[in-house]
């Protein structure tokens, strides 16, 4: 199958998923014959957990229903912006595609197979064939455009089934009458910052979080949000290949090295990011050392102060400072 890249998204070529299955993907039982009506495929949920162990089943499902693959991690700030959008849209499209969420920290084979050098990474699987879609958190409107193109590609290749989850098949009266859970209301500045991130306006989000911190220096949510938006803004509009090439070509360029550390961390290579910065630290002048120190402290906020990799990095940084 030859799949045309969706307009406006970054395609990085074919992905080999053969190591993740014990046999070639087979048609799902009940899949329509050519010219038949689209199949209705029962699934436990429209949002599935994709793992190294079960991805063969996901590939088989993709023979009938397009599968969107969301590679994420618990510590990833941008993932927390994008994943809720994908979950909202998979419900809104009512089974025209299924979402498979893959935790990169616990599924190294899938992470490697989808070439997830930064996260979030989003791909599709159509008829057993993977298609790279985009990296990073993008606004909901752009996500919708990508999904629409995926559905068009799927239709071109006969993958037009519908996934039916138990809730779709029919809910009990009690469940139907149960009130929807109330989402906790964000403070106004946080809400406005979140909306700015959704539309890709990182400058506005930064200004809003800075205002929140100025109003309450103990606002940890705003401090973390500011660090996460800073990471998004620094990586926005840049490709992984260019970032790594520039860093390799100019090992003495601190800006290039800081950016590749950002890329490493966003892709889940947290130890690599911190080690790169700590290795650079001793050879810098005082201004360069201060920039590295500030960047490391920012990245602590991105991964979370309770991340197990923060404490040893903080100890190494302290030893270098004193």
Please, which pLDDT band fits residue 38 given cuts at 50, 70 and 90?
A: low
* Mean pLDDT of the region 273-295: 95
Retrieve residue 12's tokens. Answer: 């990085």
Q: pTM of the prediction?
A: 0.54
| Tens digits of residue pLDDT in 151-175 | 988 888 888 888 888 755 444 444 4
Alpha carbon 25 to its chain centroid, in Å, reads 25
- Spell out the domain ranges in the chain: 18-165, 188-321
Residue 293 has a pLDDT of 96
Which token pair is 9? 């998204």
Q: What's the pLDDT score for residue 13?
A: 35
Over the range 304-315, which residues count as b (16 or more CB within 10 Å of their CB) and which as e? eeeeebbeebee
Backbone angles phi, psi at 130, to 5 degrees: -80, 145
Q: Quick check: 310 and 300 in contact, CB under 8 A?
A: yes
- For the four alpha carbons of 135, 136, 138 and 144, in that order, the dihedral sign comes to positive
The chain-wide mean pLDDT, for the chain, equals 81
Active site residues: 76, 79
Residue with tokens 């892709």: 267
CATH fold of 18-165, please? Glutaredoxin (3.40.30)
Contacts of 7 (CB under 8 A, 6+ apart): 149
């Amino acid at each position: 199958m030859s799949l045309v890249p969706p307009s406006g998204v970054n395609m990085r070529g074919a992905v080999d998923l053969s190591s993740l299955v014990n046999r070639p993907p087979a048609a799902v039982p009940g899949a329509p014959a050519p010219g038949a009506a689209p199949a209705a495929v029962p699934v436990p949920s429209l949002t599935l957990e994709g793992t190294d162990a079960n991805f063969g089943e996901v590939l088989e499902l993709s023979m009938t229903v397009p599968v969107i693959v969301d590679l994420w991690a618990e510590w990833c700030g941008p993932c927390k912006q994008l994943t809720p959008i994908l979950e909202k849209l998979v419900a809104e499209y009512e089974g025209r595609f299924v979402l498979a969420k893959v935790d990169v920290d616990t599924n190294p084979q899938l992470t490697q197979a989808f070439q997830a050098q930064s996260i979030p990474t989003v791909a599709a699987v159509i008829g057993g064939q993977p298609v790279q879609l985009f990296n990073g958190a993008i606004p909901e409107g752009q996500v919708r455009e990508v999904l629409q193109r995926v559905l068009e590609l799927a239709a071109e290749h006969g993958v037009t089934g519908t996934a039916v989850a138990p809730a779709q098949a029919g809910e009990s009266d009690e469940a139907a009458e149960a009130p929807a859970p109330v989402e906790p209301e964000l403070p106004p500045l946080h809400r406005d910052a979140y909306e700015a991130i959704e539309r890709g306006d990182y400058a506005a989000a930064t200004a809003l979080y800075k205002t929140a911190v100025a109003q309450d220096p103990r606002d940890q949510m705003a401090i973390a949000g500011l660090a996460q938006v800073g990471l998004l803004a620094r990586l926005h509009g840049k490709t992984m290949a260019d970032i790594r090439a520039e860093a390799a070509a100019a090992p003495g360029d601190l800006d290039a090295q800081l950016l590749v550390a950002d890329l490493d961390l966003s892709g889940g290579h947290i130890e690599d990011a911190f080690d790169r910065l700590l290795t650079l630290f001793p050879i810098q002048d005082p201004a360069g050392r201060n920039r590295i120190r500030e960047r490391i402290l920012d990245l602590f906020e991105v991964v979370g102060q309770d991340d197990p990799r923060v404490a040893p990095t903080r100890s190494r940084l302290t030893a270098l400072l004193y």
